[in-house]
Amino acid sequence: MSLTFDQSQTALSAAMERAKALDIAVCIAVMDAGGRLMAFARMDGSNWASIHGAQGKALTSAATRSPSGAIPPESVVMSRIAELEGGNMIYARGAVPLIKDGALLGAVGVGGASADLDEDCARAAAAALGCDG
């Protein structure tokens, strides 16, 4: 099972709607199971640096099948994987995997607000797809 373009757009829209409801401006990255970008949005007023944060957190979540803040960055294995990936993984809260019927579809990462609010938006995206996250 692979993440489809339509699913990536649904996830993106759900995260954006949640951010609007919370009155925050964020960047949202939706990645496939291989950690490659499928959809992205930068809301008006969001910080440009959050572009990298959203993508790095989503990449970490896709690689680990877990929320981006759940893996300790000092793990020798994870630090080596991050190095081989090009140093783009970010071990901070704000991304969740998209797991449906036990299969990893991808991950959604959000950056630009607090860790709690970023993760709240990411979980809204997962819920919109009927995924665990």
Q: Report which of 117, 2, 107, 125 is spatially closest to residue 56, judged by C-alpha positions.
A: 107
Q: What tens digit of pLDDT does each residue of 10-49 get?
A: 999 999 999 999 999 999 999 999 999 999 999 999 999 9
The answer to whether 54 and 26 are in contact (CB under 8 A) is yes
Q: How many residues does the chain have?
A: 133
The answer to whether 11 and 123 are in contact (CB under 8 A) is no
pLDDT above 70: percentage of residues in the chain: 98
Domain ranges of the chain: 5-128
What's the CA angle centered on 47, arms 41 and 49, to 5 degrees? 90
Kindly report which listed range (25-39, 69-83, 91-105) carries the lowest average pLDDT score.
69-83
Residue 119 binned pLDDT confidence (cut-offs 50, 70, 90): very high
Is the predicted pLDDT of residue 73 greater than 70, yes or no? no
User: Reduced to 3 states, what is the DSSP secondary structure of residue 27?
Assistant: strand
Q: Which residues contact 127 (CB under 8 A, 6 or more apart)?
A: 14, 133
Rounded to whole angstroms, the Cα distance separating 47 from 39 reads 18
Q: Report which of 124, 111, 96, 103 is spatially closest to residue 4, judged by C-alpha positions.
A: 103
Q: Does domain 5-128 have CATH number 3.30.450.150?
A: yes
